[in-house]
Amino acid sequence: MMRRQSSDWRRIVMLRPREATTRLRWHNQCMERDGQLELYGLVAARLKEAHTRVRTLQVPEGVRMALSRKLLVITAASKHDLADAARRLERLMNDLDEGRFPEDPDSGRSP
């Protein structure tokens, strides 16, 4: 079995400048021109805040799961329509602020 020399791993790990992930990508350049990059950052921060709020709510587990599913739908929507996802997230946050939660799906079942 042939053993690699210690310098071989450096060649594998090191990226050439054109492969580096820190450079400005074309989709980021497009997003910067129309203001989407800033909106993306705002939606991402707001989604993080919403996930934290849902996780810390004192509600039945079924309600928490329903809210988590809504957040996952909004997260998926943000990949395709950022403005719509921002509107959905704002609506969900307003519902949380006003104490409007989905019904617990487990409350209607008999034990």
Give CA–CA dist 55/29, Å, rounded: 35
Q: Is residue 9 part of a domain?
A: no
Give CA–CA dist 37/30, Å, rounded: 9
Q: How many CA atoms lie within 13 A of 90 on its CB side?
A: 8
Q: Is residue 39 part of a domain?
A: yes
Q: Which residues contact 36 (CB under 8 A, 6 or more apart)?
A: 30, 82
Q: How many CB atoms lie within 10 A of CB 74?
A: 22
Model pTM score: 0.64
Q: What does the pLDDT average to over 47-65?
A: 94
For residue 12, pLDDT beyond 50: no
Do 92 and 74 contact (CB within 8 A), yes or no? yes
Domain count, the chain: 1
* pLDDT confidence of residue 111: 36
Q: Is residue 14 part of a domain?
A: no
Most confident of the following: 30-34, 55-59, 80-84, 107-111? 55-59
Q: Containing domain of residue 69, as a range?
A: 24-97
Q: Is residue 7 part of a domain?
A: no
